[in-house]
Every structure is written in structure tokens, then in C-alpha cells.
Structure 1
Amino acid sequence: MATLTIDTLGGDKQFSAYRADPAAPPRAAVIVIQEIFGVNAGIRAKCDRLAEQGYLAIAPDLFWRIEPGIDLNPDVPEEMERALDLMGRFDQNLAIADIEATIRAARAAVPGGKVGAIGFCLGGRLAYMTAARTDVDASVGYYPVGIDGLLGEKHAIARPLMLHIAGADGFVPAEVQAAMHAGLDDHPRVTLHDYPGEDHGFATELGKRRSDAAARLADSRTDAFLASTLA
């Protein structure tokens, strides 16, 4: 496991990313898009799991423009408050530019150049935006927030996108989930999966939020999705 330095699209600045390499030449690359807690232990564990499956996994530090190296624990109330403050100062459009720069770096690092993206919470929203605004080959969003406000971009989704929706998500109320289904169920490149009774963060690798059975189901669907779309 190592740190990767990535040039911004403008080439005038650099930011860091956590990198997990597979034991053999990678089958493809996967960008892991952070929650509001930075590239913390849970996100690094997601990368490590993907590397075990044969992918080059890269988690860019998307908070670097505010403060580099953010690593917060959502189970600690004070750190949760800090994460919410960071979210309030976060520029999502600049984050998409940084994700695009990461995609370019990842394409150059793997045979065949196939790159997917997986995001969680804020990262789930950014995964949707990545699907609509970049040339990523496939995207997955876990419990993405605020997708109802992004449905106007759905026409630009040209590659496969999978979204995992927590049925009892405290950050995504029932009416937003209904809007997601109404807007996306008939999209030929989008697949939605619902997890009734599950709350936001159910598929985290670490901590109190994890709901193991639902997490395993969602991850198995993601694994199959990536295997088919990044082949």
C-alpha cells in the first residue's frame, strides 16, 4: 500500500491519494470516492479489499483544497461535527475535476485502461456526478445523497451506473428515494437496488454503522457489476 501523487487537470497543483495494488497485474482500476470523513481507515479498507480482488484501487484526497490528510471517525461525535463542517466548505465541482484527474492517472497505470468508480455517502453523490460528467467506464454509488437534485444530468450518463439505496436512510428521505426511482428506473444504463430498513452507512467496512448482511449483499452486487463492466 502506498501514497500516489496526482497532478490536477490544470497541471499547476498536486494532491495525494491512497493506493492499493493487487499481487498480480491489475485487471482494471477502481477509484474509491470518500465519505465526508476523508480517506480514513474505512475507505482505505475498501481499497485493500478491491486490491485483493485484482484491482488497482485509488482513493484521492478530495478535501485537500480545504485541508490535506483529513482522517475522521464517524463514531466519534466531535469528529462527525467536523466532517459536517468540512462538507459545508467543500466544492463538489472541483472534486469532480480531481476525480477526472485521478481517472486519467489510473487509466495510464493499468493494462487496457479500464477504470471504475465506487463512492459512499457524499462519494455516492460524486459517483453519480462522475458517471454524468466524465468518461469513467462504470460507477457505483452507495447511499448517495441529493440525487433528486441531479436528475437533470441523467441524459449524460453514457456508461453503467449502479446505486445502492438505504431504505431507512436518515439523509435520504422516502420522497427523495421515490424521485430517484421515478427519474432513473427506466434509464437503460442505471440499476437501482433498495435495502429496506437499512440506514445510511450500512456498508461501511468499519464501525457501528455497518449492517453486515446488507453490506455483503450490496458488495456482492458491486463485485459482479465491476467484473462485467470492467472486463
Structure 2
Amino acid sequence: MEIKDTEWLSEPKNDSEAVSRRTVLTSALTAGFALAVQPVSAETIITDTAGLKAGMIKFKGADGVEVPAYYAVPAKVDPKKKPAVVLVVQEIFGVHEHIKDVCRRFAKQGYFAIAPELYVREGSVSDKPMNEIFPIVGKVPDAQVMTDLDAAVAYAASTGKADSSRVAITGFCWGGRIVWLYAAHNPKLKAGAAWYGRLVGQSNPLQPKSPTELAASIKAPILGLYGAKDRGIPLDSIEGMRAALKTAGNTKCEILVYPDSEHGFHADYRPSYNEKDAKDGFTKLLAWFKKNGA
């Protein structure tokens, strides 16, 4: 079953109806989530499109390839005070319903949010089990991702509904690593927030440097949001990043570690979701963006 971005349920009359409706809607939206992340939790947050313009678009990358993307922006934009742009970088699972919802959450806060499909040349991961996703993602060059994100900003500016002089970025898991890399790539970036992105890793021709190795090149203030119980990102790698930033004389970045959270603690559609820490992290992210001009 396909559910369009504008098709949302009205307010429930009581708790019983709320539970029933959430079950129905979660079931309907399952088709919008990547196969590898199912089953989807009944606690999945669903942000409506009231007061927004949202949907799928395409823009051309630097190589001329059309890149699909989901965007969300307030329906009414003051031409004298256009929204800042927020790049929302996908998890390893691609731009599925959770990433789209995050875009809508930013639009509700007054931003122009855009999430490009960054594996479009290498292949779709939406219908793949986890073991088939890694080979696809491994073929995605970091340099290509950087230019696609640049093109996404240019698209936002071309709509006349965004202020491309104020750009922020956030990303999750795979996208969390990309946040650090983009902060080293784009000197005009105002701010970023990296959710549990890998900080170290073996170099290869397509992914030549890790965030830790790029610490000296990071000019924008980045807020790192990590979980102490993350089995894939050990605490020593977080301390290594802190040390690299300190050695580089970078005092703009900050890394927060939530003691009770594991990997994916912001992902409300997964068992790893930690509501308290996810909400706290998002609140701190919004304050961080505003503090730094985004």
C-alpha cells in the first residue's frame, strides 16, 4: 500500500482510537521503509505536512546525473527572510520514511530541508537485505557525495524559497560520517550535527580519509551526538576524535555522549530508539544551528 506525503490521519478522539490509528498508519507506511529496517515500530513518529510543501524532486549532479531527493519547506516563505537550508543525510538504508519525516520536522521549525538519494548511481537499497546493502554503499565515492550535497544546496537556492548563504547539515549513521566530511569540504557551512557517525576506518580510493584524519580541515562547528552503548562506535574512537580536534586547535566542535543510548538512538522506527536522548539531541541540534547562524 502506498501512502502519499499529504495523506495523514486526523486527530484521534481518544487513546483507544489513537492506538488503532497508529497501528493502521504504521502498517501502511511499512512500504515506505527500506526492507532491511522492517518490521517498523508502532512508536514511529509521523509528522504531517500541514503548513508545508513537501515531496520528491530531482536535481542534476555535477556529472549530469539526475539525483532524486525529498524536500520539505514552510508553505509560506517571506521573500525578505528566506529559510536556511538543512541537508539531511540518509542512514545506510537510503531516503526512506524516517528520513523524510526528519525533513518535515525541520520544515516545521522554519527550515528548507532536503535529503538527496546519495546512492542513485550505485543502486537502490530499499528492497535489499542488510548483507546486500554493504556492497552497494561501498561503491559510493566520498567525493561524489560532496558534490551531490553541493548540488542539493544549489537546487534549494534555485527554488527561490531558501537562503543558500545559511546552510546546515545533519546525518545519521552512514550520514553522520558524511556530516564531518562535508564540514571539511564546504568552508561556507554554518553548522552541522552528526548522529552516531563512524569516526575512523580503513582508507580506500573511494573513501580516502576518516573524520578523525580530517579534523584539521573542519572549519564549521559540528555537534557530535553519540551513544556510550554503541557497539559499532567504541568510546576510544570518540576520544580519538576529540583529541584530533584539540590537536588541530578546533574549539568550535563539541561531542556529546549519551550514557544509556546505543547506535540508532534517534531512529524512532527501530528498537534502538531512546526517546529521552533523541528529543534532547534534537533540541540541542536546533539550538546549535541557531547559535551558529543557520
Q: TM-score scaled by structure 1?
A: 0.88
Quick one: which of 108, 123, 140 aligns to 1:52?
108
**1:189 corresponds to:** 252
Q: Is 2:200 the partner of 1:137?
A: no
Name the SS of the counterpart of 1:123 in structure 2: helix
Quick one: which of 224, 229, 249 aligns to 1:168?
229
Name the SS of the counterpart of 2:273 in structure 1: coil
What residue identity is the alignment partner of 1:92? D
1:159 and 1:142 map into 2 onto residues whose CA distance is 16
Q: Which stretch shifts more, 155-164 or 212-221?
A: 155-164
Compute the RMSD of aligned alpha carbons: 2.0
1:197 and 1:167 map into 2 onto residues whose CA distance is 7
What residue identity is the alignment partner of 1:146? L
What aligned pairs does 1:112-131 form with structure 2 within 5 A after superposition? 113-131=165-183
2:89 and 2:122 map into 1 onto residues whose CA distance is 17
Quick one: which of 71, 74, 90 aligns to 2:126?
71
Q: Is 2:144 the partner of 1:91?
A: no
Q: Is 2:94 the partner of 1:38?
A: yes
- Shift, 1:116, TM fit: 0.8
Displacement over 4 Å in runs of 4+: none
1:150 and 1:179 map into 2 onto residues whose CA distance is 10
Name the SS of the counterpart of 2:114 in structure 1: strand
- Shift, 1:132, TM fit: 0.3
Q: TM-score scaled by structure 2?
A: 0.70
2:85–2:164 contact (8 Å) kept in structure 1: no
1:36 and 1:112 map into 2 onto residues whose CA distance is 26
Q: Is 2:157 the partner of 1:104?
A: no
**1:9 corresponds to:** 62
- Shift, 1:170, TM fit: 1.4
- Shift, 1:213, TM fit: 0.5
Name the SS of the counterpart of 1:126 in structure 2: helix
2:182 and 2:106 map into 1 onto residues whose CA distance is 19
2:216–2:245 contact (8 Å) kept in structure 1: no
- Shift, 1:147, TM fit: 4.1
Q: Structure 2: 5+ residue runs without aligned partners?
A: 1-53, 202-209
**1:217 corresponds to:** 280
2:118 and 2:164 map into 1 onto residues whose CA distance is 26
* Identity over aligned pairs, percent: 26
Q: Is 2:213 the partner of 1:152?
A: yes
